[in-house]
Amino acid sequence: MRLVTRISVNTLCALALVGLAACGTDSPKETGPFAGQSGPEVANKALKATNGVKSLRIGVDMTTPDGRVQADFASSLGGDCTGTMTVGGQGSMEIVKTGGTVYTKFDEAMLRAQMKGEPKAEADAAVEMLAGKWMESKASDPDTAEATEFCDLKALLEEFEANDNAAEKKGPSTVAGKPSLRLTEKDGKETYTFDVAAKGDPYILRVTSRGGEEPMTMHFSDFDAPVAAKKPAAKDIVDLEQ
């Protein structure tokens, strides 16, 4: 069975976190927790705070050649993870990772998309056996690793680094009802927008990219919140060895 369309954490973060350093000035009339700080100073504080979490939730809405991709994952450094992903026209999947074991569940549309080109009888049999059921595999399995990239919080956080591009302060914003400060920068035709929490820890709350070939929005939330990853009920797990 072909793997679900791969959405790389490294690719997303490379797009989302391009820069956040160098120049950027502060308005003399600005007030609030970031008054007197340049765009790069705020950005580096946000990167440091976000990079220090033990767990978080990430939501992605991205346009790709395969269609619209939406993902929602909660992941911890301890290895626990839960999430869902939908690919435009190709259905959806769910993932639960606890310890060294991964459980995946595909809907019928996703199964048929993954088996495109296979004999109809085989596709029908796979749908009959697997649709809506959990499959168990080892987290160390190479195929499984590709499907659980959003579960690798350590790799995700390692991408939160600044470089020599510019971040400019654009004023206050709001993300999910939370006050934030907006930073922007341009890279060629693309414009990146970063919203940093203006209350409490200066976490990155939202990143957007527009003007490129794959526009996207990423939301970050539930910082350091427990990840409730539980093994599915035995009756809902398909024994692939039988």
Alpha carbon distance 19, 10 (integer Å):
15
pLDDT at 21 over 50: no
CA 138 to chain centre: 22
**Which domain range does residue 208 map to?**
9-221
Exposed, middle or buried: residue 178 (CB in 10 Å: 0-12, 13-18, 19+)? middle
pLDDT tens digit sequence for 124-160: 998 998 898 999 988 888 877 777 888 888 888 877 6
Do residues 147 and 94 touch, judged by C-beta distance below 8 A? no
Instruction: Report how many domains make up the chain.
Output: 1
What percentage of the chain reaches a pLDDT higher than 70? 84
Number of H helices, E strands in the chain: 6, 12
Is 233 inside a domain boundary? no
Beta-carbon contacts of residue 218 (< 8 Å; ≥ 6 apart): 12, 16, 58, 59, 60, 61, 206, 207, 208
Q: Would 174 be classed as within a structural domain? A: yes
Residue 92 lies in a domain: yes
Residue 2 lies in a domain: no
Any domain includes 234: no
State the CATH number of the domain containing residue 68: 2.50.20.20
Q: Does residue 134 fall inside a structural domain?
A: yes
Position 226 in a domain: no
Whether 89 contacts 100, CB under 8 Å: no
Residue 229 falls inside a structural domain: no
